[in-house]
Chain A
């Protein structure tokens, strides 16, 4: 009985270590988006390459597609760029860009230099559509289904693991069911 009492502090310590340990594995920057399973917010923006043409989320209805928010000033966008390029080239899923709070010339130069994975990039100069999509840290990537509903959101750079484990299976499932 006496011995058990000495174990109490140890047990409390173990619980605290356990809780803190779990806390270490969580990323405080990944805030669950309230937009999951909600219709993708509407936009009708000029295209980055052709300012006289517009692009809207409605143009993609009937397709499973990716919306990748990027900017030429964003460091992590550079990090994920080769992954996005590879995914786009594989042709599994169309990728659209949302050029966020960027200068048009800078954005175009960035694509010219590093390669353009996007079928079309929408040009969101003042970041207003970004706010509608709950963007707070570029890059962010959304998987949107055929009905125009957001099914997945990735905050931060897309890695090959994310593509393999999350995006590709989800795209496959969404294409198969509908």
Chain B
């Protein structure tokens, strides 16, 4: 019985000695980090609401490989973005540059917000003005007086 325990213990120990630490998933984590950071900024054109970092479409994988290669070859992030824009247009950028064609995109929401705020302000201003206390007209004054003077109410 005791021998069996020793054997078992030995086996468990052997297992943990033999087990290796998991190797990193990529050979160069720093390069991978830069690749993914760049991939986060690029739209996948096959699945348009995903970045190529998120996407598993073949084209996205190819483009990630291209980014990785180009970074390895010493190209800067800026140069790689330009490479992509030259092929796929501003549309690939999640942060498109401010140009004549993208002005509505960048400033449209703010224009709408300010328009709505101006409308609200105008509306409140008008409401306050119309709700300001007004002096009673002569007829109203007379009616008030009549009610105050009426005998039933004076009890």
Residues of chain A whose beta carbon lies under 8 Å from any beta carbon of chain B: 28-29, 31-35, 101, 126-128, 131-134, 136-137
Q: A32 and B45: CB pair below 8 A? A: no
Distance of B112 from chain A, by nearest CB (Å)? 12
Closest to A137 in B: B46
Chain B 61-90, CB-CB to A under 8 Å as 1, else 0, gives 011001000000000000000000111111
Q: A28-B48, A131-B66 are in contact. Are A136 and B59 (CB under 8 A)?
A: yes
Neighbouring B residues of A136 by C-beta, 8 Å: 45-46, 59, 88
In the bound complex, do residue A31 and residue B87 qualify as a contact, i.e. CB atoms below 8 Å apart?
Answer: no
Please state if B89 and A31 are interface contacts (CB–CB under 8 Å). Answer: yes
Q: Is the interface of A mostly helix, strand, loop or mixed?
A: loop
What range describes how many residues of B lie at the interface?
10 to 19
Extra inter-chain contacts (17) besides given A131-B62, A137-B45, CB under 8 Å: A28-B48, A31-B45, A31-B89, A31-B91, A32-B91, A33-B89, A34-B85, A34-B86, A34-B90, A35-B87, A101-B58, A127-B62, A131-B63, A131-B87, A133-B87, A136-B59, A137-B46
Q: How far is the CA of A136 from the CA of B84 in the complex (A)?
A: 12
25 residue pairs from A and B, CB less than 8 Å apart: A29-B48, A31-B45, A31-B89, A32-B91, A33-B89, A34-B85, A34-B86, A34-B87, A34-B88, A34-B89, A34-B90, A101-B58, A126-B62, A127-B59, A131-B62, A131-B63, A131-B66, A131-B87, A132-B87, A133-B87, A134-B87, A134-B88, A136-B45, A136-B46, A137-B46
Which of B48, B66, B89, B90 has the most chain A CB atoms closer than 10 A to its own CB? Answer: B89
Q: Is the CB of B46 within 8 A of A32?
A: no
Min Cβ gap B139→A in Å is 24
Known A136-B45, A136-B46, A136-B59; contact A32-B89, beta-carbon cutoff 8 A: yes
Residues from chain A with a CB closer than 8 A to the CB of B90 are 34
Residues of chain B within 8 A of A134, CB atoms compared = 87-89
CB-nearest residue of chain A relative to B58?
Answer: A101
From B58, B63, B86, B88, A31 is in contact (CB under 8 Å) with B88
Chain A residues contacting B87 (CB-CB under 8 Å) are 34-35, 131-134
A38 to chain B, nearest CB (A): 8
Chain B interface main SS type: helix
Q: Which residues of A contact B85 (CB under 8 A)?
A: 34
Residue in A28, A34, A101, A128 with the greatest tally of chain B CB atoms within 10 Å? A34
Q: Which residue of B lies closest to A126 (CB)?
A: B62
- Chain A residues whose CB sits within 8 angstroms of the CB of B91 once the complex forms: 31-32
A127 to B45, CA, bound (A): 15
A176–B58 alpha-carbon span in the complex (Å): 41
Q: How far is the CB of B30 from chain A (nearest CB, A)?
A: 25
Contact residues, B94-119 vs A (CB, 8 A): none
Contacts of A132 in B (CB 8 A): 87
What is the bound-complex CA distance between A32 and B45, given in angstroms? 12
Chain B residue with the shortest CB-CB distance to A32: B89
Q: How far is the CA of A126 from the CA of B58 in the complex (A)?
A: 11
Interface pairs A-B: 5 shortest CB-CB: A136-B45, A134-B87, A34-B89, A31-B91, A134-B88
A161 to B36, CA, bound (A): 42
